[in-house]
């Protein structure tokens, strides 16, 4: 199936380069949700993830002519997303809570957050379930688990994206699965 997906992507890129705009639209639609989920897991904010997803596909559009069609498109687009998130996180500056103190020295956020109770009846999305199941697992192992399970990336694609040996990716995936199973047994 991996070769079939690669061939479909390659054909869509070829068609787009020949002038078929719809082919690029199909390609973007195919990867949009996965890229958004990946970025959301990295930045933890819906609005930022939406902006970064848009930025990722803008970069795809600008650089698609440079893409090596002998390679798989999926790791390439995820690498663009990863780089966009790294740049974003590097630029983002944390604002110390002391900046939100009012004239009396009372912190606005501490006072506001103290009265907020979580709504336990709200819908829990896949990212929250993944976060709960993978609590205590290293961030690298979480990333591998998410890329394989939610983004349906192969271990080879994950290895390329993370610039790790494939056997390292496989062993970290197994470790993450074992840890996640412990969550359900407790």
In contact, 90 and 83? CB cutoff 8 Å: no
Q: Which CATH class is domain 125-186?
A: mainly alpha
pLDDT digits (tens, 9 = 90+) for 22-54: 999 999 999 999 999 999 988 888 889 999 999
The predicted pLDDT at position 55 comes to 93
| Per-residue confidence band for 83, with pLDDT thresholds at 50, 70 and 90 | very high
**CATH label, 1-91, candidates 1.10.1740.10, 2.40.50.100, 3.30.1330.30, 3.90.1150.10:** 1.10.1740.10
Domain residue limits, the chain: 1-91, 125-186
Contacts of 30 (CB under 8 A, 6+ apart): 9
The predicted pLDDT at position 4 comes to 62
Pair of tokens at residue 84? 């966009």
In this structure, what are the phi and psi dihedrals at residue 96, rounded to the nearest 5 degrees? -65, 145
What pTM was estimated for this model as a whole? 0.55
């Amino acid at each position: 199936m991996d070769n079939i997906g690669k061939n479909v992507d390659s054909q869509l890129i070829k068609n787009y380069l020949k002038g078929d705009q719809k082919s690029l639209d199909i390609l973007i639609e195919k990867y949009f949700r996965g890229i958004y989920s990946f970025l959301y897991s990295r930045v933890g904010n819906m609005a930022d993830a939406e902006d970064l997803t848009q930025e990722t596909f803008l970069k795809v559009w600008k650089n698609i002519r440079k893409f090596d069609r002998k390679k798989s498109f999926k790791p390439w687009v995820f690498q663009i997303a990863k780089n966009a998130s790294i740049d974003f996180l590097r630029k983002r500056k944390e604002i110390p809570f002391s900046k939100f103190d009012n004239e009396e020295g009372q912190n606005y956020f501490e006072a506001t957050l103290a009265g907020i109770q979580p709504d336990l009846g709200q819908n829990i999305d896949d990212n929250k379930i993944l976060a709960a199941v993978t609590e205590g697992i290293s961030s690298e192992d979480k990333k591998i688990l998410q890329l394989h399970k939610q983004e349906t990336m192969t271990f080879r694609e994950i290895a390329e994206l993370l610039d790790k040996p494939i056997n390292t990716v496989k062993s970290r995936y197994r470790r993450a699965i074992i840890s996640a199973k412990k969550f359900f047994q407790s």
